[in-house]
Amino acid sequence: MDIIQKYFGDFTPTQVDQFSALFELYKDWNEKINVISRKDIDALYEKHVLHSLAIAAMADFPDGYQVIDLGTGGGFPGIPLAIFFPEVKFHLVDAIGKKIKVVQGVAEALDLKNVSTAHSRAEEIKDRKFDVIVSRAVAPLKDLWRWGKPLLKKAPAHEQQPGLICLKGGDLALEVQESGLRPRLTSVYQLFPEEFFKEKYVVVVNK
């Protein structure tokens, strides 16, 4: 928890309580359903929570925004972002049902009223549109954009609005080239100068 407060201040008491509760919640759930590598659970706040909040350091989501987290896994980046932005609605989606069970359990325990979930693939979602997509390294950029673009609300032609914000690592040159997109890459290490974040990036594709 200290590493979160090293980079972010001004949390409400409720947010502090919610962030503080994450460790025990994920530790308990992870013993039943493995969603986080066992060697990573002790580094939950750095490797999962703070990493997720790199998106919050890059983008401000207005109150009332609708955000979809594609391939949320155990709830990252969606759960930390939902705590950070309590007035923004987050829809966390994963094709693996047991992962969504963990996400639902964590969201209920934290009383996160701004989180909904679905055991679904992106291409199966037909009845909803979102302001922005977030994701963490679940697929190549070209696939994320192909799945996600139909789910986005249209932006006014004169506005440059983020459509996809994802967290990725390593050498992304070939992946970006194959996507045919022109994303903006920001080093997470520049935001949070911790050794773990070297060669990790926030990747933003405009609508």
pLDDT score, position 137: 78
Name beta bridge partners: 133.
68, 164
> What's the pLDDT tens digit per position in 93-102?
999 999 999 9
Range of the domain at 199: 2-206
CA 21, CA 24: separation in Å to the nearest integer?
6
- pLDDT exceeds cutoff 90 at 144: yes
CA 141, CA 127: separation in Å to the nearest integer?
24
Question: Into how many domains does the chain fold?
Answer: 1
**7 and 198 in contact (C-beta within 8 Å)?**
no
Query: From the annotation, which residues make up the binding site?
Result: 71, 76, 122-123, 136
**Interval 29-36 mean pLDDT:** 91
pLDDT score, position 58: 93
> What's the pLDDT tens digit per position in 185-197?
999 999 999 999 9
Query: From the annotation, which residues make up the binding site for S-adenosyl-L-methionine?
Result: 71, 76, 122-123, 136
**Cα end-to-end distance, the chain, whole Å:** 34
The whole-model pTM stands at 0.96
3-state helix, strand, coil in the chain (%, to 5): 45, 20, 35
- Provide the CATH number for the domain around residue 106: 3.40.50.150
Where residue 40 falls among pLDDT bands split at 50, 70, 90? confident
- pLDDT exceeds cutoff 90 at 133: yes
**62 and 161 in contact (C-beta within 8 Å)?**
no
